[in-house]
Amino acid sequence: MMNNDYNGKSYTFRWAPMTGFDGAKFAIFNDDGSTSYPDWEYEVIAAVKHVPGGNRTIRQSMGTGPATVTYSVWCDSRAEYDKLRAKQGVSGVLRVIANMQSIRGTQRKVQNVNYEDISNVILTQLSGAKFDPDGPVEARATFMAPINTLTGTTS
Amino acid sequence: MTDIVNLTYYGAVNVNGTAVDWESISTSHGKDQPIGQATIQAIKPLPAGVDIGSAVQITAGYYGGMQSNIFRGRVSSFQDAFSDSGNTVSLKCEGELWKMKNPQENAVNLEYSVPTKLSDIIRVLLDLRSVSPYLVDEIRTSDLSDPSYLYIRLGGLLFAGDESKIIPSQASLLSWATQKCELFGYYLYDTPSGQVRVSRISGKPSGTAVMTFTEGLDIYSVTRNSDSAQIYNYVEVLGAKYLDTNAVPVQIRSVPASVPSNADINPPGYRKLRVSDNWIVRNREANSARLVKELDFGARLVEESWETWGNPDIQPGDIISIISPSTNPQYATNNKRWVTSVSHSLTDRGWNTSISAWAGGGTTLPEATDCVTQTIAGGATFHIGDQVRPNFNQTNPYGIEAQINFSVAATYTSLSLSGYIHGSNSPLYNDENGNKIWKNLSRVEVWQSGVRVSSVDLPAYYDSPIDSYASIPTNWVRFTIPLAGTLATGTGQLRIIAGEGVDNQEGKSFDDFEVTGMSVRTCGVGQPVLP
């Protein structure tokens, strides 16, 4: 566990220096000071129609939308942020600390930390960047992944 | 207690056997739309090789439930698009019957030399264009309770001319076939299942409904249209017009004996529909076509259309029931319909099926008598000529001319004289009296108001000096001759006149012959009693 106080704000991270997306490294933090990750969300798409003259409603399930998640990320340097920014719209591997979210990826241990590599992830948006003259950049990164709701995997 | 029907549906588009991702699908099939249509809004990239002509199959269904084709055909056109909405392609598709659309052009005409079952002709045309699969019902006369419920046969009458037996190479096979089927209440159309059908969609359906749709249970919305614009309760069907073997004009025709008044179109209470087709060469088919139109157009058009959730199993031509008290007060007893069209829509708003259905509300009317036969002179025997002939039925001659009155109906299309005869113009037959010159042949003239309207020579028949003509019809010949000219309503007169010969040695002489059992047949006189 790491605590950084920066510009009067306190950031709490789990120590996981290899967290990142497609080679661009960052740390994931929570504004509320907790160390849990927000989880992926997906929409079950359905058309719902009422049958007039009765009490019947027809609900037609039309499958599941892609899973999305938005992380608050901390890039150690402007260079790391630039790398991440260049990955917008790119499909790649998201590496996060293992067992911290619902998608089941490939687990691997690096520098004594258990990570989970999630493939087929797209960085759809990078927003709210806050730059510091000393280098670190804080931003919000939104990822999208296909999800098999039965297996919890992205394939 | 509320009820939630939770369904998970899928729609699969295959082009050339490969799955295509899609955004929306719409399909439509119907009895009045022979070629099924589909539009697929697809997401690029498409599988390699997709082009105009690619085979398309669309299947829809529910996981764990019914699933069927909702379209089968080919890509007929496509439109690529690139915009903020992405790179998409819209595939327009047409059903299997597209193969029937174009004429043969340089190919030979299709000729039917004998009256042929219409269902067999349709099968041949479908095979000619390799349409598959198809199911062509036997096309029969309209009244199923009629013991003479028989196959419809068209064309092929030798005397009726090419337009009655030849499908011209320039004709669209589809247009030809659909038009002929519709004459008899049958339709040729693509179905969502992919099978091409010819089936009867006429009158009130009498079979078992394949499905019942009920307000409050499975109908999202329903409309019921009642329309007087399509009412035709006085139907005249005209078939081929030709000269028969006796050169008598024949006009195949069927009209009702009387037309009951229809309050929806009063005054005058009736509206006439004239149907004309040269391929109709027998009265049976003309009458059947008339009965079909009376069933289907004799009363106001009532058509229901409704939307339900996706149902892949309903086909045009199916019999269904619709229970909708809000739109049809007589729903309890009057709910069976023919499905006339089916369309599917699969979008992000779900899978919905729209159905239209109809039933003919008219009744068939008895046929008017179109031909009237009146016996002339009580069927008496006339010996025309000037000689005493012991072997004739009438030994002594009546005279060299007989004048016989008959009545003329208000309108007619043909007039003919029939009876038994012997010996008329026998010199031509017997080749006798070589030195005699025949100034006039024996003939029948038609007169009215003192004016000769027409004249026709009698055929030449054998005149035996020894055979006895006493017992009719032994040794007599049955004859029919056309009576040309146009007569006004009233009284006409037949003049049967002996031929006149001049002999160099014997002077003037006359042909001797006998006619008996004469009758005049007037056709085209059928006129319904109108309101």
- State pLDDT tens for residues B168-214: 888 899 999 999 999 999 999 999 999 999 999 999 998 899 999 99
| Residues of B with Cβ-Cβ distance to A49 under 8 angstroms | 220, 309, 350
* pLDDT at A86 (0 to 100): 96
* pLDDT at B526 (0 to 100): 83
* pLDDT at B428 (0 to 100): 63
Q: Identify which of A13, A16, A18 has the alpha carbon closest to the alpha carbon of residue A1.
A: A13
Residue B148 structure tokens: 């003479």
**Is the torsion defined by CA of B170, B172, B176, B177 positive or negative?**
positive
* pLDDT at B211 (0 to 100): 97
ipTM: 0.78
Q: B189 and B37 in contact (C-beta within 8 Å)?
A: no
Indicate the residue of B4, B218, B350 with minimum beta-carbon distance to A47: B350
**Do the Cβ atoms of A61 and B348 come within 8 Å?**
no
* pLDDT at B335 (0 to 100): 93
* pLDDT at B107 (0 to 100): 72
Q: How large is the average pLDDT for residues B460-479?
A: 90
SS3 B208: coil
Count other C-beta atoms under 10 Å from residue A90's C-beta.
12
Q: What is the 3-state secondary structure (H, E, C) of B147-184?
A: CCCCECEECCCHHHCHHHCEECCCCEHHHHHHHHHHHC
* pLDDT at B144 (0 to 100): 58
* pLDDT at B450 (0 to 100): 92
Please indicate if any CB of chain B lies within 8 Å of the CB of A90: no
Q: Identify which of B265, B90, B277 has the alpha carbon closest to the alpha carbon of residue B165.
A: B277
Whole-structure pTM value: 0.86
Does the pLDDT at position B438 exceed 80? no
* CA–CA gap between residue B365 and residue B142 (Å, rounded): 12
The two beta strands, A67-75 and A27-29, are antiparallel
- Tell me the H-state helices in B117-250: 118-128, 173-183
The two beta strands, A27-29 and A24-25, are unpaired
* pLDDT at B148 (0 to 100): 59
Indicate the residue of B2, B221, B309 with minimum beta-carbon distance to A55: B2
- Stated as kind and residue range, the H or E segment containing B287 is helix B283-297
SS3 B100: helix
pLDDT band, very low/low/confident/very high, at B436 (cuts 50, 70, 90): low
**Do the Cβ atoms of B9 and A61 come within 8 Å?**
yes
Q: Identify which of B292, B305, B287 has the alpha carbon closest to the alpha carbon of residue B227.
A: B305
Q: How large is the average pLDDT for residues B345-367?
A: 94
* CA–CA gap between residue B160 and residue B230 (Å, rounded): 32
Weakest-pLDDT range from B257-261, B361-365, B401-405, B464-468:
B464-468
Query: Residue B135 forms beta bridges with which residues?
Result: B197
* pLDDT at B435 (0 to 100): 58
* Amino acid symbol at B431: D
pLDDT band, very low/low/confident/very high, at B146 (cuts 50, 70, 90): low
Closest chain B C-alpha to A48 CA, distance in angstroms: 8
Per-residue CA distances from B118 to A16, B180, B241, B521 (Å) = 82, 8, 20, 31
**Do the Cβ atoms of A53 and B348 come within 8 Å?**
no
* pLDDT at B354 (0 to 100): 98
* pLDDT at A71 (0 to 100): 95
* pLDDT at B158 (0 to 100): 73
Closest chain A C-alpha to B148 CA, distance in angstroms: 47
Which tens digit of pLDDT belongs to each residue from B76-119? 999 999 998 888 999 999 999 999 999 887 777 788 888 899 99
* CA–CA gap between residue B378 and residue B419 (Å, rounded): 12
SS3 A130: strand
* pLDDT at A16 (0 to 100): 84
* CA–CA gap between residue B233 and residue B291 (Å, rounded): 10
Estimate to the nearest angstrom the gap between the alpha carbon of A11 and the chain centroid. 18
Specify the higher pLDDT residue, B477 or B85. Answer: B477
- Tell me if the bond preceding B168 is cis, omega within 30° of 0: no
Largest CA distance in chain B: 117
Indicate the residue of A45, A51, A59 with minimum beta-carbon distance to B216: A51
* CA–CA gap between residue B279 and residue B117 (Å, rounded): 12
Helix axes B173-183, B283-297, angle to 10 degrees: 80
Specify the higher pLDDT residue, B432 or B159. Answer: B159
Q: How large is the average pLDDT for residues A147-154?
A: 85
**Do the Cβ atoms of B218 and A51 come within 8 Å?**
yes
Which tens digit of pLDDT belongs to each residue from B44-87? 889 998 999 999 999 999 987 778 999 999 999 999 999 988 88
Which tens digit of pLDDT belongs to each residue from B512-531? 999 999 999 998 888 899 99
* pLDDT at B165 (0 to 100): 87
* pLDDT at B508 (0 to 100): 72
Does the pLDDT at position A2 exceed 70? no
Estimate to the nearest angstrom the gap between the alpha carbon of A117 and the chain centroid. 12
**Do the Cβ atoms of B351 and A53 come within 8 Å?**
no
* Mean of per-residue pLDDT scores for chain B: 91
Q: Identify which of A140, A13, A4 has the alpha carbon closest to the alpha carbon of residue A72.
A: A140
* CA–CA gap between residue B523 and residue B405 (Å, rounded): 18
* CA–CA gap between residue A75 and residue B319 (Å, rounded): 69
Q: Identify which of B486, B270, B347 has the alpha carbon closest to the alpha carbon of residue B27.
A: B347
* pLDDT at B216 (0 to 100): 93
Indicate the residue of B6, B216, B348 with minimum beta-carbon distance to A53: B216
Q: A26 and A80 in contact (C-beta within 8 Å)?
A: yes
Residue B403 has, within 13 A of its CA and on its CB side, a CA count of: 7
* CA–CA gap between residue B274 and residue B489 (Å, rounded): 24
Q: Identify which of A93, A77, A84 has the alpha carbon closest to the alpha carbon of residue A135.
A: A77
**Do the Cβ atoms of A51 and B1 come within 8 Å?**
no
Closest chain B C-alpha to A129 CA, distance in angstroms: 26
* pLDDT at B529 (0 to 100): 92
Top-ranked range on mean pLDDT: pick from A35-39, A43-47, B331-335, B419-423: B419-423
* Amino acid symbol at A18: M
Q: How large is the average pLDDT for residues B443-454?
A: 93
Q: Identify which of B521, B440, B442, B525 has the alpha carbon closest to the alpha carbon of residue B482.
A: B521
Residue B59 structure tokens: 């299947």
Closest chain A C-alpha to B351 CA, distance in angstroms: 8
* CA–CA gap between residue B193 and residue B59 (Å, rounded): 9
